[in-house]
Amino acid sequence: MPSLASTFKSYLLICLLLWPTLSVAESFVAQIRHAKLIANDHNFSVQAKIDYELSPTAKEALHKGVPLTWIVRLEIRQIGSFWDSTIYKQALPYQLQFHALLNQYEVLTPNNESEMFLTLNAAFRFMSTPNFTKPIPADLLQTGQHYKLAVKCQFDRESLPVPLRPFSYLDAQWFLSSNWYLWPIQK
């Protein structure tokens, strides 16, 4: 039977979680090292390098069997006078899950293929180079126009178990998404 103190602690937690001010003491966000557009014969491909990081809470959740999902978002934006317009977008979801029996990490690729890794670093290494398989048509970019390549690695909170979701928006331990990485394109 939970004590009165623990009940009070729960209420206090609720209040604290609902409190809008957040304490971000340490950052665990993913970093996009680089991203660039490579011109091929008839299309473009994108190369990117992402460094993933897990907070202690996220690491504990992973080892307790909670699958974690990142969505690597790719956008090509045309620079406008007032605002940019997105002319192309692509999203690649990567799901990382730990298998306690085999003591291996499984990465579910955007193509629904499963890759098993003995270490977490090996899994992250695999995920660090997203495979944008869908080529970008060459005629998408007009000559004389200015474009930006935008890449972001977004941690998908909505794929977490339901009880974790509300708090993942408030707890800095779950702020695992990267910022937008912007790379100018000139054609």
Interface with other proteins (CB under 8 A): 1-2, 6-7, 10-11, 13-14, 17, 60-61, 63-66, 99-104, 114-118, 122, 126, 157-158, 161-167, 169
Please, what is the minimum distance in Å from the beta carbon of residue 55 to other proteins?
14
User: DSSP readout, 60-99?
Assistant: HHHHTT--EEEEEEEEEEE--SSS-EEEEEEEEEEEEEEE
Nearer to other proteins, 25 or 100 (CB): 100
Q: In what order do the strands lie in the sheet with 136-137?
A: 31-39, 43-51, 136-137
Shortest reach from residue 98's CB to other proteins, in Å: 8
CA distance 62 to 178: 19
The nearer residue to other proteins, 2 or 144, going by C-beta atoms, is 2
Report the nearest approach of other proteins to the CB of residue 78 (Å).
31
Q: Based on CB atoms, which residue is closest to other proteins, 118 or 138? A: 118
Nearer to other proteins (CB atom), residue 25 or residue 162? 162
